[in-house]
Amino acid sequence: MKCETCGNDYNKTFKVVGHDGSVHVFDCFECAIHALAPSCAHCGCRVIGHGVETKAVYCCNHCADQAH
Protein backbone atom coordinates (compact mmCIF):
# COMPACT_ATOMS: atom_id res chain seq x y z
CA MET A 1 0.00 0.00 0.00
CA LYS A 2 1.11 3.59 -0.59
CA CYS A 3 1.67 6.18 2.11
CA GLU A 4 -0.87 8.98 1.74
CA THR A 5 1.68 11.61 2.79
CA CYS A 6 4.78 10.78 0.73
CA GLY A 7 3.47 8.26 -1.80
CA ASN A 8 6.06 5.63 -0.88
CA ASP A 9 4.91 2.13 -1.90
CA TYR A 10 6.04 0.06 1.08
CA ASN A 11 5.27 -3.45 2.29
CA LYS A 12 5.14 -2.40 5.95
CA THR A 13 2.58 0.40 5.84
CA PHE A 14 0.11 0.74 8.67
CA LYS A 15 -3.40 2.12 9.00
CA VAL A 16 -4.64 4.74 11.42
CA VAL A 17 -8.39 4.90 12.02
CA GLY A 18 -9.65 8.33 13.06
CA HIS A 19 -12.31 8.97 15.67
CA ASP A 20 -14.67 9.74 12.77
CA GLY A 21 -14.01 6.34 11.13
CA SER A 22 -11.66 7.72 8.47
CA VAL A 23 -8.80 5.39 7.51
CA HIS A 24 -5.31 6.67 6.73
CA VAL A 25 -2.30 4.70 5.43
CA PHE A 26 1.30 5.65 6.28
CA ASP A 27 4.75 4.16 5.89
CA CYS A 28 6.22 5.78 9.04
CA PHE A 29 5.23 7.74 12.12
CA GLU A 30 6.82 10.88 10.67
CA CYS A 31 4.31 10.88 7.80
CA ALA A 32 1.42 10.14 10.18
CA ILE A 33 2.43 13.05 12.42
CA HIS A 34 2.75 15.39 9.45
CA ALA A 35 -0.73 14.47 8.25
CA LEU A 36 -2.67 14.09 11.49
CA ALA A 37 -1.07 15.93 14.41
CA PRO A 38 -2.50 19.37 15.17
CA SER A 39 -0.28 22.43 14.87
CA CYS A 40 0.41 24.70 17.82
CA ALA A 41 -1.77 27.80 17.51
CA HIS A 42 1.15 30.01 18.56
CA CYS A 43 4.39 28.67 17.04
CA GLY A 44 3.04 26.26 14.43
CA CYS A 45 5.04 23.16 15.45
CA ARG A 46 3.28 19.80 15.42
CA VAL A 47 1.85 18.77 18.78
CA ILE A 48 2.83 15.13 19.24
CA GLY A 49 2.51 14.98 23.03
CA HIS A 50 -0.30 16.01 25.34
CA GLY A 51 0.09 19.69 24.65
CA VAL A 52 -2.13 22.31 26.25
CA GLU A 53 -5.70 22.78 25.12
CA THR A 54 -7.69 25.88 26.00
CA LYS A 55 -9.71 27.50 23.23
CA ALA A 56 -6.96 26.26 20.89
CA VAL A 57 -4.19 23.62 20.97
CA TYR A 58 -0.67 24.65 22.01
CA CYS A 59 2.53 22.61 22.22
CA CYS A 60 3.39 23.87 25.73
CA ASN A 61 2.38 26.27 28.51
CA HIS A 62 4.79 28.91 27.23
CA CYS A 63 3.02 29.10 23.86
CA ALA A 64 -0.41 29.10 25.54
CA ASP A 65 0.69 32.02 27.77
CA GLN A 66 2.18 33.93 24.83
CA ALA A 67 -1.03 33.64 22.84
CA HIS A 68 -3.13 35.36 25.53
Q: What is the pLDDT of residue 56?
A: 95
pTM, whole model, 2 decimals? 0.81
Helix, strand and coil percent figures for the chain, each rounded to 5 = 20, 25, 55
Residue 67 has pLDDT above 90, yes or no: no
pLDDT tens track for 3-42: 999 999 999 999 999 999 999 999 999 999 999 999 999 9
Reported confidence tier of residue 68, pLDDT bands at 50, 70, 90: confident
Q: What is the pLDDT of residue 14?
A: 97
Q: What is the pLDDT of residue 54?
A: 87
- DSSP-assigned beta bridge partners for residue 14: 26
